[in-house]
């Protein structure tokens, strides 16, 4: 695979190029024949990469060309695939392919069909490159690249102001995160003199904890933007303005996990910066909780699923924070399948209901669309975390890892918050299921005739239902499953780093290194520490299970199952049989009591940001323009000019518009100037 | 090859063209523009030959004629010589100049209808002046070219500009003249100082660089030169001529002004201030860095609230060009590389953005952002170009804008991390102002077009409009009027094979027969009322596409492969930086 690694991203890139250039004139409604096979090709190649890594365990890399050679700042375009990348490649290309197939039906007849099948492979390309990048800046390039695709696809139906607004909001909020990410890269370069992952990670133990903490926090700000973590979560719900397949692929399964991927990739840095990890944990747990509460009262089918995505991303983030690296990636993996399925199922519902998205005007749809209902139910069970569906294994592992992690008391707090959020998850997920597929029909069935979607849409649903049901078993038995042993080499990095005598010489000479000697408590310093240090570093993979007894695991499995089932039970009791749209709201209000307003309005974050950032910045801009620019600077200039008014008055007469006059003026002017010069400044004529 | 005076040929070919136009009979209207086009194309070809043959590692040689260097003694007593030469920095900017002038000529082909002869003469003279500025290695020659280019530009604004053109032209002229006069003082002072030191009279820049000037002297002379170049850049607070000049100038002049003339400020600093006055540079650097950071943020903020497209782009130029001065004065290689890259990228992207404004100005005769909307529907190719250059301008990696701005920010981090934070924060605001404009001009619905019933941000007026139109949009599936359907007609696009029934509240009330009638009646009416031109705006013409296409290619290629650019300029930068180590 070493020589052919570049083909994985190249295939979708070519599909993009062909469709964007020829789509409107030549290919038109056949655009999917270009895009889907290309992504399928990437999927097959990704499987080969996965197999090779499974067999050899040796990362694969390939040098393509040097992008920026600016003095000692050299950025190469190198591809690098280790076990983590391999998993991401498979997730992106498989879900990507299924979404392409689904879109054939969903986007059928849309005027922008070719455009859609240009942007979609462009996204797949960018996302594949993002996970293949072997240095921070290259990752950043495609980080922005997926942001571009997100912008184009959220704003796909650009005639709608709401869609254009949402696209712009997504891009700008992400840019706030990118500011952090970009500064983090600059800091990394200033400290390490390189931005290559391998070189930075091997030198990281030599660097002061304070510096690493700063870098880690900046990187995490970037991750907050992309993975929609509080306080930069506000763009994701609005992003649902995009076509539903886009929501499934970009805003659920893949792009939004890029932030999680970034933190996991930079694990050697985060592992050495405990304060940063605490922040990651708090932000993740808070997001998981907040989003789950909001999800309970939303009425737009896609928004409910979107808040569920936010919440699940929160789980992944706090898993990273407590050192459950494998757990986070495991949840990323399972979530990609079941959340894509939830979105595609929602799309199928919307399609079958003629563009209706309000769950208050649905109900009883399971008899009209059995395939959608069945697969949606599987995904909902997986999302709620019910045994043995995929989401259970990964979520349970996260909650358990948080409880037993060495980052206490924050870990246990996060664990409890996670359990509370899990209850809400069961509740909102099955509120959705019951309101959409069960109970009486709350729509006018003389006007609306729900129908099952065509095969191109239902087949991907079935294909996604399989992993939603089964993929959890790659993590079975808990903490010792195939995924744990597979990913172990990636996250064991911290252990080896310390033995690197060959740490680049220039690193050692850097000034700040003297601030703090390497590794006081978080850094294994020698052979004798290796065991203890290794345990700390290898959370959830290597030796962690030694002090998590089977009893504890079982207890937690039972607790989280009970909690999820309790949520489902509450939903069943309340929403099983709702007759009118008003009744839905009444039940919501009864369940949430006084907090309904807060939750329905999404905790007022949008309004707060509007007051605190958007409007003041616009006001400042307006003031700068009218007062400073035109009122002060320009007024001063014009005043000066008016003072010499005669000059400008004369200049106006000079402008006769005849070039001959000007030529004469130029010539005269030169003569005068030379004359002045010779007369006053030169000795030549004296 | 070495004997052919390629630099002079390139510089005076446009002048020759101008003379030809001047003396040729007025009879044929096509003659001026053909002549101008040929001259500009010839100059461009020569510049490419020059760039390909350039050895960026060969330093300038003060006394002799080496390849890509021409020297003729005029008056050895005065120390004035006709001395032209290029290094990597100049070579790239020269190619940028000839390319953008050529594009401006193509653009002007059918858009300039009044005083064509004079127009082309002015543009050609301008090109000669600009090329001379980038080549002159003798301060006397430099000053002549510097002034030479000022006048045609002022004329282009003042004669072929829009309503408030004379004010803008005079303002441009006075601002620049003010700077030039200070520079003249600086030139003379340096000349005298060198003479007093060595007894040699010379205006040869390479020789003057050998002088050891007192620190106080450097401080003041640096300032004199700096003001001239800061006006050109333009650096805050010397920038207020720019918005007026851009708004009033004809499209081609805006393109040249933004893409080339602003670069002369950056070029002048690199060619004169840094090599001649190292102590002055060190003394002033913190202040200039401060002003640059202010300019970067200030330009972005003010751009945010502009109602006029050209003004918005003009203020965005202030912001982008702040990166140039910043990159130069942090005095490290990444900063200089970045500054160079920003200059080139700004040339491509802002040049193209002005062309894009010109495209719709030709059709609508207004530049007000709120006069437009939904252009993507009617002009898909235009929208695609606009999107490309918007993203290039806001620094999307992979396009030209990113490389330079990131390098400058990186260089700034090495100077002061906090400043880097402020500088890099502009990525947020750049996205904000550009996307805000893009959304209002390109996205949304066209004038006279009905709102999309699936729009979740409809206001009451729009709902009423929809209802009045008879609710005819079951908007099948996702059938949204797509570019190809064109022409602002709110046709209910049926969702392909699926039988869709109207579901929105307003739509649901209409009967199938009723809405057809309603559509027929209301739509042409809305059309006529809102914008008579809306239905006749064609997409990009071949000529317009021809002007944008090379810039699109360049912005992509230099974004992905900036390496050769650094290879060309780095030797020159290394020589400059050697003074500061």
pLDDT of residue B173: 87
pLDDT of residue A172: 93
Answer for the pair A306, A154: CB distance below 8 angstroms, yes or no: no
pLDDT of residue A645: 60
Q: Does B308 touch chain A (CB under 8 A)?
A: no
Residue A26 pLDDT more than 90?
no
Phi, psi of A361 (to 5 degrees): -105, 35
Residue A657 pLDDT more than 80?
no
**Best mutation site among B138, B410, B440 for testing chain A: the one with the most A CBs within 10 Å?**
B410
B141: distance to nearest CA of chain A, Å? 12
d(CA B433, CA B316): 9
A191: distance to nearest CA of chain B, Å? 10
Answer for the pair B191, B276: CB distance below 8 angstroms, yes or no: no
DSSP sequence for B389-404: HHHHHTT-TTSHHHHH
Q: How far is CA A355 from CA A250, A358, A366, A450, B38, in A?
A: 21, 9, 17, 11, 58
Confidence label for B286 from pLDDT (cuts 50, 70 and 90): very high
Report the half-sphere exposure of B340 (CA within 13 A, side-chain side): 29
Which SS3 state, helix, strand or coil, does residue A394 take? Answer: helix
Closest listed residue to residue A261, CA positions, set A143, A123, A371: A143
Residue A242 pLDDT more than 80?
yes
Q: Which residues contact B49 (CB under 8 A, 6 or more apart)?
A: B6
Tens digits of per-residue pLDDT, A476-522?
787 788 888 888 888 875 444 444 434 444 444 443 434 444 333 34
Please say whether the dihedral angle defined by the alpha carbons of residues A103, A104, A108 and A113, taken in this order, is positive or negative. Answer: positive
pLDDT of residue A653: 63
d(CA B465, CA B315): 36
Residue B392 pLDDT more than 90?
yes
Residue A671 pLDDT more than 80?
no
Closest listed residue to residue B10, CA positions, set B68, B74, B78: B68
Are B500 and A355 a contacting pair at CB < 8 A? Answer: yes
Which SS3 state, helix, strand or coil, does residue A120 take? Answer: helix
B338: distance to nearest CA of chain A, Å? 9
Closest listed residue to residue B244, CA positions, set B309, B150, B168: B168
pLDDT of residue B289: 95
Q: Determine which helix (DSSP H) or strand (DSSP E) holds A150, and give its type and residue range.
A: helix A136-154
Q: State the first-to-last Cα distance of chain B, in angstroms, to the nearest integer.
A: 37
pLDDT of residue B459: 79
Residue A607 pLDDT more than 90?
no
Closest listed residue to residue A349, CA positions, set A210, A247, A233: A247
d(CA B275, CA B272): 6
d(CA B352, CA B338): 20
B156: distance to nearest CA of chain A, Å? 10
pLDDT of residue A536: 41
Residue A538 pLDDT more than 80?
no
Are B240 and A633 a contacting pair at CB < 8 A? Answer: yes
Answer for the pair A257, A336: CB distance below 8 angstroms, yes or no: yes
Q: Which residues of B touch A107 (CB under 8 A)?
A: 477-478
Confidence label for A649 from pLDDT (cuts 50, 70 and 90): low
pLDDT of residue A110: 85
Q: What percent of chain A has pLDDT over 90?
A: 47
pLDDT of residue A678: 62
Confidence label for B6 from pLDDT (cuts 50, 70 and 90): confident
pLDDT of residue A497: 40
Confidence label for B68 from pLDDT (cuts 50, 70 and 90): low
pLDDT of residue B525: 36
Residue B246 burial by Cβ neighbours in a 10 Å radius (0-12, 13-18, 19+):
buried
> Which B residues, 188 through 247, put their C-beta within 8 Å of a C-beta on chain A?
188, 191-192, 237, 239-241
**Best mutation site among B32, B194, B240 for testing chain A: the one with the most A CBs within 10 Å?**
B240
Answer for the pair B340, B271: CB distance below 8 angstroms, yes or no: no
> Which B residues, 514 through 543, put their C-beta within 8 Å of a C-beta on chain A?
none
**Facing B420 at nearest CB: one of A112, A140, A183:** A183
Residue B503 pLDDT more than 60?
no
Tens digits of per-residue pLDDT, A254-265?
999 999 999 999
Q: CB A641: neighbour CB atoms within 10 A? A: 17
Instruction: Nearest chain B residue to A29 by CA: give it.
Output: B496
Quote the mean pLDDT of chain A. 84
- What six digits make up the tokens of A410? 């924050």
> Which B residues, 334 through 393, put their C-beta within 8 Å of a C-beta on chain A?
334, 337-338, 374, 376-377, 380, 387, 391
Are A659 and B118 a contacting pair at CB < 8 A? Answer: yes
Residue B514 pLDDT more than 70?
no
**Facing A624 at nearest CB: one of B22, B302, B391:** B302
Confidence label for A17 from pLDDT (cuts 50, 70 and 90): very high
d(CA A60, CA A48): 12
* Residue with the larger pLDDT of the pair A637 and B315: B315
Tens digits of per-residue pLDDT, B475-493?
433 434 334 333 333 333 3
Instruction: Nearest chain A residue to B76 by CA: give it.
Output: A684
Peptide bond into A409 cis (omega under 30): yes
Answer for the pair B80, B28: CB distance below 8 angstroms, yes or no: no
Residue range A45-67: mean pLDDT, rounded: 90
Confidence label for A174 from pLDDT (cuts 50, 70 and 90): very high
pLDDT of residue A641: 67
Quote the mean pLDDT of chain B. 83
Lowest mean pLDDT among A300-309, A500-509, B249-258, B443-452: A500-509
Buried b / exposed e over A299-333, threshold 16 CB at 10 Å, is: bbbbbbbbbbbbbbbbbbbbbbbbbbbbbbbbbbb
Strands A73-81 and A60-70, by their bridges, are antiparallel
d(CA A72, CA A107): 48
pLDDT of residue A553: 83
pLDDT of residue A520: 38
Q: What percent of chain A has pLDDT over 70?
A: 86
Q: Does B148 touch chain A (CB under 8 A)?
A: yes
* Residue with the larger pLDDT of the pair B148 and A640: B148
Peptide bond into B391 cis (omega under 30): no
Whether the pTM exceeds 0.90: the reply is no
**Facing B478 at nearest CB: one of A73, A157, A187:** A157
pLDDT of residue A535: 39
Lowest mean pLDDT among A630-644, B267-281, B313-327: A630-644
Instruction: Give me the residue spans of the domains in chain A.
Output: 6-491, 604-654, 656-685
Tens digits of per-residue pLDDT, A579-605?
888 888 888 888 888 888 888 888 888
* Residue with the larger pLDDT of the pair B123 and B535: B123
Residue A403 pLDDT more than 90?
no
Lowest mean pLDDT among A241-250, A521-530, B544-553: A521-530
Are B376 and A652 a contacting pair at CB < 8 A? Answer: no
pLDDT of residue A588: 84
């Amino acid at each position: 695979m070493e020589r052919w690694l570049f083909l994985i991203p190249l295939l979708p890139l070519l599909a993009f190029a062909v469709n964007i250039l020829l789509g409107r004139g030549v290919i038109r409604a056949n655009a999917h024949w270009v895009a889907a096979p290309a992504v399928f090709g990437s999927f097959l190649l990704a499987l080969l990469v996965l197999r090779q890594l499974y067999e050899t365990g040796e990362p694969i890399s390939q040098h393509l060309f040097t992008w920026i050679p600016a003095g000692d700042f050299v950025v190469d375009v190198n591809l690098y695939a280790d076990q983590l990348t391999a998993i991401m490649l498979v997730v992106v290309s498989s879900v990507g392919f299924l979404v392409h197939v689904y879109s054939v039906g969903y986007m059928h007849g849309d005027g922008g069909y070719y455009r859609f099948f240009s942007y979609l492979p462009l996204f797949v390309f960018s996302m594949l490159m993002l996970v293949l990048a072997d240095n921070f800046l290259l990752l950043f390039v495609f980080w922005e690249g997926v942001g571009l695709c997100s912008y184009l696809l959220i704003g796909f139906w650009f005639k709608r102001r709401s869609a254009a607004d949402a696209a712009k909001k997504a891009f700008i909020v992400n840019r706030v995160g990118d500011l952090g990410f970009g500064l983090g890269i600059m800091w990394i370069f200033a400290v390490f003199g390189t931005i290559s992952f391998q070189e930075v990670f091997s030198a990281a133990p030599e660097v002061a904890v304070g510096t690493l903490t700063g870098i880690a926090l900046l990187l995490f700000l970037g991750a907050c933007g992309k993975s929609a973590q509080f306080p930069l979560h506000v763009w994701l719900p609005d992003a649902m303005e995009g076509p539903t397949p886009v929501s499934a692929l970009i805003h659920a399964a893949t792009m939004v996990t890029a932030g999680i991927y970034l933190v996991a990739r930079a694990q050697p840095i985060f592992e050495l910066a405990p304060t940063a990890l605490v922040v990651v944990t708090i932000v993740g747990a808070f997001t998981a909780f907040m989003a789950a509460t909001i999800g309970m009262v939303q009425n737009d089918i896609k928004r409910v699923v979107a808040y569920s995505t936010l919440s699940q991303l929160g789980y992944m983030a706090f898993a990273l924070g407590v050192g459950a690296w494998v757990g986070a990636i495991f949840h990323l993996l399972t979530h990609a399948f079941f959340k894509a399925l939830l979105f595609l199922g929602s799309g199928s519902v919307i399609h079958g209901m003629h563009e209706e998205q309000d769950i208050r005007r649905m109900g009883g749809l399971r008899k009209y669309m059995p395939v959608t209902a069945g697969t949606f139910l599987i995904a909902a069970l997986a999302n709620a975390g019910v045994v043995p569906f995929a989401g259970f294994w990964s979520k349970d592992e996260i909650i358990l890892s948080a409880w037993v992690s060495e980052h206490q008391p924050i870990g246990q707090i996060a664990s409890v918050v996670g359990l509370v959020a899990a209850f809400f998850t069961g509740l909102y997920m099955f509120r959705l299921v019951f309101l959409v597929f069960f109970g009486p029909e709350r729509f006018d069935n003389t006007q609306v005739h729900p129908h099952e979607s065509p095969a191109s849409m239902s087949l991907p649903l079935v294909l996604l239902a399989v992993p939603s049901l089964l993929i959890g078993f790659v993590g079975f038995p808990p903490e010792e499953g195939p995924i744990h042993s597979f990913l172990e080499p990636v996250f064991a990095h911290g252990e080896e780093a310390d033995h690197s005598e060959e740490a680049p010489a220039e690193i050692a000479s850097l000034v700040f290194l003297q601030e703090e000697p390497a590794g006081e408590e978080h850094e294994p310093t020698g052979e004798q520490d290796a065991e203890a240090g290794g345990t700390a570093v290898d959370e959830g993979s290597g030796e962690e299970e030694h002090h998590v007894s089977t009893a504890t695991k079982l207890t937690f499995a039972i607790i989280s199952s009970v909690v999820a089932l309790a949520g489902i039970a509450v939903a069943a009791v309340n929403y099983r049989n709702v007759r009118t749209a008003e009744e839905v709201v009444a039940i919501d209000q009864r369940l949430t009591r006084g907090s309904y307003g807060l939750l329905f309005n999404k905790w007022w974050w949008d309004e707060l940001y509007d007051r605190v950032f958007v409007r003041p910045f616009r006001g400042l801009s307006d003031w700068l323009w009218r007062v400073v620019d035109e009122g002060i600077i320009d007024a001063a200039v014009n005043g000066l000019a008016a003072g010499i008014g005669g000059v400008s008055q004369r200049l106006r007469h000079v402008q006769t518009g005849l070039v001959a006059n000007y030529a004469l003026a130029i010539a005269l002017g030169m003569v005068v100037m030379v004359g002045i010069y010779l007369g006053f400044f030169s000795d030549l004529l004296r | 090859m070495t004997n052919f005076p390629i630099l002079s040929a390139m510089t005076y070919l446009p002048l020759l063209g101008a003379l030809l136009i001047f003396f040729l009979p007025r009879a044929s209207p096509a003659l001026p523009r053909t002549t101008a086009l040929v001259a500009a194309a010839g100059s461009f070809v020569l510049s490419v030959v020059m760039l390909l043959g350039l050895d960026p590692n060969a330093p300038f040689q003060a006394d002799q004629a080496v390849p890509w260097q021409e020297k003729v003694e005029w008056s050895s007593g005065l120390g004035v010589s006709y001395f032209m030469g290029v290094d990597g920095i100049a070579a790239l900017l020269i190619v940028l100049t000839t390319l953008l002038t050529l594009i401006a000529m193509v653009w002007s082909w059918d858009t300039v209808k009044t005083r064509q002869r004079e127009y082309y003469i002015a543009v050609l003279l301008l090109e000669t002046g600009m090329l001379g500025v980038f080549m002159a290695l003798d301060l006397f020659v430099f000053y002549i070219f510097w002034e030479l280019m000022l006048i045609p530009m002022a004329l282009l604004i003042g004669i072929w500009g829009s309503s408030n053109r004379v004010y803008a032209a005079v303002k441009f002229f006075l601002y620049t003249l003010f700077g030039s006069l200070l520079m003249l003082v600086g030139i003379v002072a340096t000349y005298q100082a060198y003479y007093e030191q060595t007894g040699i009279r010379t205006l040869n820049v390479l020789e003057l660089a050998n002088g050891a000037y007192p620190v106080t002297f450097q401080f003041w002379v640096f300032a004199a030169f700096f003001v001239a170049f800061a006006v050109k850049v333009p650096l805050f607070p010397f920038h207020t001529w720019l918005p007026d000049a851009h708004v009033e100038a004809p499209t081609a002049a805006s393109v040249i002004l933004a893409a080339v003339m602003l670069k002369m400020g950056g070029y002048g600093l690199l060619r004169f201030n840094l090599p001649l006055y190292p102590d002055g540079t060190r003394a002033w650097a913190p202040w200039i860095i401060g002003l640059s950071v202010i300019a970067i943020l200030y330009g972005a903020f003010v751009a945010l609230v502009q109602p006029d497209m050209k003004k918005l782009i003009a203020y965005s130029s202030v912001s982008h060009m702040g990166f140039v001065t910043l990159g130069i004065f942090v005095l490290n290689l990444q900063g200089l590389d970045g500054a160079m890259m920003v200059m080139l990228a700004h040339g491509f992207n802002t040049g193209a953005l002005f062309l894009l404004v010109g495209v719709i100005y030709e059709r609508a005769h207004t530049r007000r952002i709120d006069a437009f909307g939904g252009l993507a529907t009617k002009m898909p190719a235009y929208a695609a170009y606009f999107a490309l250059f918007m993203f290039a301008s806001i620094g999307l990696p992979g396009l030209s804008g990113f490389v330079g701005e990131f390098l400058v920010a990186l260089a700034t981090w090495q100077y002061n991390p906090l400043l880097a934070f402020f500088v890099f924060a502009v990525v947020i605001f750049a996205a904000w102002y550009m996307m805000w404009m893009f959304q209002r001009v390109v996205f949304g619905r066209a004038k006279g077009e009905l709102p999309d019933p699936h729009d979740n941000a409809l206001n009451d007026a729009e709902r009423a409009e929809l209802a009045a139109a008879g609710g005819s949009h079951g908007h099948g599936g996702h059938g949204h009027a797509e570019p190809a359907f064109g022409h602002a007609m709110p046709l209910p696009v049926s969702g392909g094979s699926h039988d869709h029934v109207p579901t929105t509240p307003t739509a649901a009330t209409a009967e199938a027969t009723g809405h057809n009638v309603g559509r027929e009646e209301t739509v042409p009416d809305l059309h006529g009322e809102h914008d008579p031109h809306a239905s006749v705006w064609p997409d990009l013409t071949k000529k317009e596409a021809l002007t944008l296409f090379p810039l699109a290619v360049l912005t992509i290629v230099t974004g992905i492969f900036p390496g050769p650019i650094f290879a060309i300029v780095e030797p020159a930068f290394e020589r400059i930086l050697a003074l500061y180590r």
